[in-house]
A and B are shown apart, each in its own frame.
Chain A
Amino acid sequence: MLSRSADNLYWIARYMERAENLSRILRVTDRLSLMPASAEGVEEGVGNEWHSTLVVSDCEKGFYEKYDEATAENVISYLAFDPDNLSSIRSCIDAARRNARSVRTALTSEQWESLNSTWLELSRLKESRLRGGGLHGFLDWVKERTLMFHGSTVATMLRRDSFHFMQLGTFIERGDNTARILDVKYHVLLPEHAEVGGGLDYYQWASILRAVSGYRSYHALYKKGIKPWFVAEFLIMREEMPRSLVACTARVKDCLDELAEEYGQRHESHRMAGRRYSQLRFGRVDDVFRRGLHDFLEEFIDQNNKLGEEISRSYLM
């Protein structure tokens, strides 16, 4: 297929995944911000939940060009609705639909209708209606619509190159998202002087897990309660957890293998994905902490980006 078409599909998937992740983070942050007081060891201001949300979504710089303070109202506006923010929920859905118009014949009618109706409804929503109580309803709606789109992709798309390009977009984006959540929250929650495994606000840890829809799953695997060490392991190395770094990398590798099979060609991206998967699959969480969780996650994000670029170079340009 045309590189541009594949590129459009890849980005539709990335944008929809991004919108979904953003809705999840915003919901969690909203809940957290309602909690009284701050955690032990967390300084005022540093632990500002809304600020950290900006960092997770990589929207910090753009936000502070527009606003002075990271209040709930400002951040929600910027991350959910602002067309100037290319990563806002609105912008993501706009961009996904725009891309979809260009590759309509590569999408199934279910996919198109799901995306188009989402976009139409969103364009009719008034931001003012969504303050306060309306926010949760909106975020739930976003989650529902993005999941529906993802579902229509998985349920109706023919398993060929177009499907694999979309999956690549989904999992590159998802891996990036999990790494950022873990990095920002963990970093914020674990000031340098505190010990790993020390007493920390339960709700903060629970928030990381909820942000990746992993609260129950975690408890299913780890019976001894929430420990930071285990949360990190859960989100980095447990392939059973669909949003973990290793699971996302595994899916990326699988898609690339499928493409190699279909096209009879392998590229640098295959080598990269294979290597990264085995590093994660056979790695140990002790090594991660010995090295420094923050460093590890920063490197993951960087390598994940590079893998995305390499995929672009191989197929989408």
Chain B
Amino acid sequence: MSEAIFDEMGLNNQEIRRAYHGLRDWLKETPADILALRREEAETFFRRIGITFAVYGQGGDPERIIPFDIIPRILEAAEWRHITAGLVQRVRALNAFIGDVYGAQEIVRSGIMPADQIILNATYRHQMQGVAVPNGIYTHISGIDMVRVGLEEFYVLEDNVRTPSGVSYMLENREITMRLFPDLFSRHAVAPVDHYCDELLATLSSVAPRNCDRDPTVVVMTPGIYNSAYYEHSFLADQMGVELVEGPDLYVMDDKVFMRTTRGPKRVDVIYRRVDDEYLDPLAFRADSALGVAGLMNAYRAGNVNLANAVGAGIADDKSTYTFVPEMVEFYLGEKPILNNVPTYRCADPSELKYVLDNIGELVIKETHGSGGYGMLIGPKSTRAEQEAFAKRVKASPDKYIAQPTLALSTCPTFVDEGIAPRHVDLRPFVLAGQDIRVVPGGLTRVALTEGSLVVNSSQGGGTKDTWVLKD
């Protein structure tokens, strides 16, 4: 892999991009020990407010902080407009697709997608077949993971439309940056993100069931304090001024949902649920789930409550469905996709499987139903032995894997032990869909803190950056 890596600041070709001039100047003025001090202050801040995230696969500290890199990532207004247009188009297509899956399945009838891709897919929730949802929206909150390989080359890596997380980091990163670097911040015209929670509440309220004739009651539903993203659930509920509930706080009576309050039962209209489909309702899904509400699906099907994101939205979150998204844009919207997919090989297809196994050293192979970066092989970074072991797994169940070429992810200046150095980044913008579709300016930039590493996932040691979208 010898392609040139695109550095977003321009560090590697000595020509600093315009958007980064302010940062360049400021870094020249600011000594390294001040930067180190600020980094410590950031960590203290995060620890004090308790923004922890439990790390999987390690015996360690359940109160771990995700590392925050103090150098912001800066995007220009024009490039953001392009991204936004692409995201809005993509989310429209995804919603149309999900509606079609649980409706007439025209995309199957047309021959574009084989029926099995849906009906035999683990993320397909047959309990949603024929169920109408308010405004036809299934993905109220989407986190569309993107990467950049060149000045104008953006790819979508993954569509997260089940229970995407990271918004609280986006907001707290902005908060801490404004506090620690008011002078740097004020030199730039940065589009604000602080109103996110207001927008989120407005989005959720706007999709209350049609028969709701009062001010809709919105709640955030969490699996509880032992969930790794609990901080975010609690944060969002607090910022929106709504109750944070767990399954046992709710119950269904006469196909309607109520919450148990000290004033007696209170009707619930919209549930922003951060509990997976499987655990939502022991009478419809896993019977042993103590995290859900018995009969919730009945209330949902009866149109007496709405869930964000919709049950069964995961059919669009699946890596094998991902390969069809460009076709969805054309099929449902009659448009050409603005944002491209990463070229993807489906191991379920015999000829594509052969290509994958022949080129295993150059590809990234992922599980179709995995998440968080596990169950993945990064070809160029793996040993012969690792490749052989992984190839065996793929051959055993090919339909569980897809492969993509390794991308030369862009880099951004990052404050590491050696000073300011480029590190690979990706981007997770957040898209809200209610009465209309809005993209929050910026989103979450994830950075691989180790030199040369492409793994940005927080659960495997990545960090985050504040992301700035400059106004024109």
Contacts and interface: CB of A to CB of B under 8 A. Distances in A.
A105 B245 CA distance: 13
B271 to A, nearest CB: 14
B261 to A, nearest CB: 6
Contact of A2 (B224, B225, B261): B261
A4 B260 CA distance: 8
Contact of B249 (A3, A101, A104, A259): A3
Given A2-B245, A3-B249, A102-B225, A263 B262 contact: yes
Interface string B223-263: 01100000000100010000111101100000000011111
Given A101-B225, A102-B225, A3 B262 contact: yes
A112 to B, nearest CB: 10
A1 interface: yes
B31 interface: no
B334 interface: no
B238 A315 contact: no
Contact of A265 (B244, B246, B263): B263
A220 interface: no
Nearest to A259: B262
Nearest to B226: A101
Interface in B148-167: none
A288 interface: no
A165 B234 CA distance: 22
B264 interface: yes
A315 B262 contact: yes
B263 A2 contact: no
A265 B264 contact: yes
Given A161-B262, A263-B262, A263-B263, A2 B234 contact: no
Contacts of A316: 262
B108 to A, nearest CB: 44
A161 B263 CA distance: 10
A46 interface: no
A105 B259 contact: no
Interface residues of B, number: 16
Interface string A123-137: 000000000000000
Contacts of A105: 234, 238, 244
Nearest to B260: A3
Nearest to A162: B262
B53 to A, nearest CB: 16
Contacts of B261: 1-3
Interface in A224-276: 259, 263, 265
A154 to B, nearest CB: 21
Interface in A24-50: none
Given A101-B225, A102-B225, A2 B260 contact: yes
Contacts, number: 36
A317 interface: yes
A70 B262 CA distance: 43
Given A263-B263, A265-B264, A317-B260, A2 B238 contact: no
A6 interface: yes
Contacts of B249: 2-4
A101 B243 CA distance: 16
Contacts of B238: 105
Interface in A281-317: 315-317
Contacts of A317: 260
> Of residues B238, B243, B246, B260, which shows the largest number of chain A Cβ atoms within 10 Å of its Cβ?
B260
A101 B50 CA distance: 11
A104 B234 contact: yes
Nearest to B265: A3
Contacts of A101: 225
Contacts of B262: 1-3, 6, 161, 165, 259, 263, 315-316
Given A104-B234, A265-B263, A315-B262, A2 B243 contact: yes
Contacts of A263: 262-263
Given A105-B234, A105-B238, A4 B263 contact: no
Contacts of B264: 265
Nearest to B224: A102
Nearest to B235: A105
> Of residues B224, B238, B246, B262, which shows the largest number of chain A Cβ atoms within 10 Å of its Cβ?
B262
A171 B225 CA distance: 28
Contacts of A259: 262
Interface in A100-116: 101-102, 104-105
A248 B243 CA distance: 32
A6 B263 CA distance: 11
A2 B245 CA distance: 8
A212 to B, nearest CB: 31
A96 B264 CA distance: 25
Interface string B153-189: 0000000000000000000000000000000000000
Contacts of B246: 4
A105 B261 CA distance: 16
A315 B245 CA distance: 16
B54 to A, nearest CB: 14
A284 B260 CA distance: 42
B353 to A, nearest CB: 48
Nearest to B246: A4
A191 to B, nearest CB: 47
A3 B248 CA distance: 10
A194 B234 CA distance: 61
A161 B261 CA distance: 12
A316 B248 CA distance: 13
Contacts of A265: 263-264
Contacts of A161: 262
A6 B259 CA distance: 13
A165 B243 CA distance: 18
Nearest to B266: A2
Interface in B133-154: none
Nearest to B238: A105
B206 to A, nearest CB: 25
Contact of B259 (A2, A104, A165, A315): A2
A242 B14 CA distance: 76
A2 B244 CA distance: 9
Contacts of A104: 234
B272 to A, nearest CB: 16
Contacts of B260: 2-4, 317
A259 B224 CA distance: 28
A108 to B, nearest CB: 14
10 contacts: A2-B243, A2-B262, A3-B249, A3-B260, A101-B225, A102-B224, A102-B225, A105-B234, A265-B263, A315-B262
Given A1-B261, A2-B243, A2-B245, 11 more contacts: A2-B249, A3-B249, A3-B262, A4-B248, A4-B260, A102-B224, A105-B234, A161-B262, A263-B262, A315-B262, A317-B260
Interface of B: 224-225, 234, 238, 243-246, 248-249, 259-264
Interface of A: 1-4, 6, 101-102, 104-105, 161, 165, 259, 263, 265, 315-317
